[in-house]
Amino acid sequence: MELSRNLVYLLILGCYLVAVVAIGLITGRGAKKGSDYFLGGRRIGPWVTAFSFVAAYYSSVLIIGGGGFGYKFGMASIWVGAINVLVGCFLAWAVLGRRLRRMTHRLDTITVPGFFAERFGSPSARLFSAAIIILFLTIYNVAVLKGMGNTLEVLMGWPYWLAVIVSGAIILLYVAVGGYLAVVWTSFVQAWIMIFGLIFLTVFALIQVGGLENLNASLAAINPGLMKTPGVWGWAGLISYCLIVSFGVWGMPQLVIRFYSIKKANLLRIGTVLAVVGGSVALLPYLNGAIARVLYPNLAELYPNVPQGQLADLAIPTLVKNVLPSWAGGLLLAGVVAAGMSTFAAILIIVSSAVVRDLVQKGLRVKMSERKLVMWGRIVSLAAGVVSLLIALRPPDLILVITAFAWAVIASTNLWPILFGVYWKHTSKAGVLASMISGAGVALLWQALAKIGWKPIVSSGIHGFIPGIIVGLLTLIVISFFTRKPEPERLKRAFARNTPYPVTRRNIP
Amino acid sequence: MAPLGFHWLTFLAIVVTAATIVAAIIWAILAKPRRENEDGA
């Protein structure tokens, strides 16, 4: 029975992986310019933009880790999914989408650090942002790869190293060859697999637990705090986690780059609805984690060799194994791997563009033809992926600690400069640079002090992202008021309307 | 107590999600389409 289940998993997973490579290679052919390789030539439709956004947003960390939160904290954790939909999908698209699309096109910029340089006239902001992106996203990718490896290890019985190498090598193949177009098209397919996998799991798990009413009653019987909000989690932990995984999205380059690449700014209206509807599956992993708490209250008995702190992460794999028929389990497994692959691939392109375009071509002023830009884009994508893969094979403790900081540091660096860049003409380059450095520094310091167990911070339960963005916001506003705003010519280029695109110095209205 | 045995504050998360979907549809309908150049920017 076990063999046949594994065989079905293997067949479905194998079909999925072959399909992904084929889609990646077919859709990603023919990149001739840097903007083709890094941005798909700005010709992506709303469906692909929206669902590839959802896939890149929800990595395997959401499905496995979200299930773990549901298991530990119960029903209060579905608030994280609800805020993901409201702030991470709807508001991010409605507030940033069209302005960022128009402005980056006018300024003819294809990366997030590049936007800072063109909008604020600050090469230093470009370099700082690019350095943070390269360092912390590469490390974040280690966590994504590790999540995929652990899932395949538990569900397929593969050795961890094999699981990491297989999933990593396949992504590297299609990203290096196909670039951004391959990433968004494979992500589009991966989003659907993830959505259907989660819906199947939820339906089967709810049947098993006897419906929502029975679930709530059973959770209350274990601990009344498991069905209440904030319940056993507490307000500080719940709110700061909701904010970091939702508002933090506004500063994540692999997500906001979707707004750069959509075919027409007006199509973002359709994209917003699609991203919100697709993104609403975010509630399901948390709900399933809570169901697992009722069905398997003693995971330690099932996994005697797993350390106590890691047991909650096995809630979803255990549910999949015991609740789903083989074919649906295979689909969910493919969904988890899909979620990880789409995030990993999206990050590779961003890291590659930050190195080649922002550091080498613009920062060091190395002259490169468009053909060479694409070639180096491919090489650096491959290299960045190999680095993450090698680290993921045996991640040092320090790297695992930093992965927990990565999201907070990147978001604290980029969030305000992006938001204020598209809305507030008075934002100065000194304000932006100071906001980036102070935001990233405070987030990093806060998390480091929490890690070494400094009591006031640990007992507050607040994530470093919160002080990071507060300090970053204040710094940006205060310093922008007291320093010179960008020259009028630059502002006209950025905010010009009804002019030929991209706006150059010659055709400023 | 809210429907299906939910704690009311937990049930609100589901209401917020449904309201967000409705709000996104209304926003997409009402948001003013802007004149675009050939490149769609």
**Residue A216 burial (CB count, 10 A):** 25
Alpha carbon distance A93, A108 (integer Å)? 21
What percent of chain B is modeled with pLDDT above 90? 61
pLDDT score, position A59: 77
At A428 the three-state DSSP class reads: coil
pLDDT at B38 over 70: no
Partner A contacted by B2 (CB < 8 A): no
Identify the sign of the CA torsion A442, A443, A449, A454. Answer: positive
Partner B contacted by A266 (CB < 8 A): yes
pLDDT score, position A509: 44
pLDDT score, position B31: 84
Of B28, B36, B39, the CB nearest to A270: B28
Phi, psi of A31 (to 5 degrees): -75, 120
Mean pLDDT per segment of 10 residues, for chain A of length 509 residues? Answer: 75 87 81 83 92 87 86 95 96 95 90 93 93 91 83 81 88 85 89 91 96 95 94 88 89 93 91 96 96 94 83 88 88 82 88 92 88 90 92 79 80 95 94 96 90 85 88 97 90 76 54
For residue B22, count CB atoms less than 10 angstroms from its CB and return exposed for 0-12, middle for 13-18, buried for 19 or more: exposed
pLDDT score, position A501: 57
**Residue A496 burial (CB count, 10 A):** 18
Partner A contacted by B22 (CB < 8 A): no
Residue A356 is given by DSSP the state I
Q: Is the CB of A90 less than 8 angstroms away from the CB of B23?
A: yes
Amino acid occupying residue A147: G
Of B12, B24, B36, the CB nearest to A276: B24
pLDDT score, position A305: 82
Q: How far is CA A46 from CA A50, A258, A270, A297, A371, in A?
A: 6, 10, 6, 43, 28
3-state secondary structure A84-133: HHHHHHHHHHHHHHHHHHHHHHHCCCCCHHHHHHHHHCCHHHHHHHHHHH
Alpha carbon distance A16, A173 (integer Å)? 15
Partner B contacted by A94 (CB < 8 A): yes
Q: What is the pTM of this model?
A: 0.90
Taking contacts as CB-CB distances below 8 angstroms, the residues of chain A near B5 are: 212-217, 227
The overall longest dimension of chain A from CA atoms, in Å, is 72
pLDDT score, position A483: 95
Partner A contacted by B30 (CB < 8 A): no
Q: Is the CB of B13 less than 8 angstroms away from the CB of A229?
A: yes
Q: Is the CB of A269 less than 8 angstroms away from the CB of B31?
A: yes
At A479 the three-state DSSP class reads: helix
For residue A453, count CB atoms less than 10 angstroms from its CB and return exposed for 0-12, middle for 13-18, buried for 19 or more: exposed
Alpha carbon distance A190, A177 (integer Å)? 18
Phi, psi of A345 (to 5 degrees): -65, -45
Task: Label residues A252-277 b or e (16+ Cβ within 10 Å = b).
Answer: bbbbbbbbbbbbbbbbbbbbbbbbbb
Residue B37's pLDDT band, with cuts at 50, 70 and 90, is low
Residue B34 is given by DSSP the state P
pLDDT tens, position by position, A241-274: 898 889 989 999 999 999 999 998 889 999 999 9
Of B13, B37, B40, the CB nearest to A78: B13
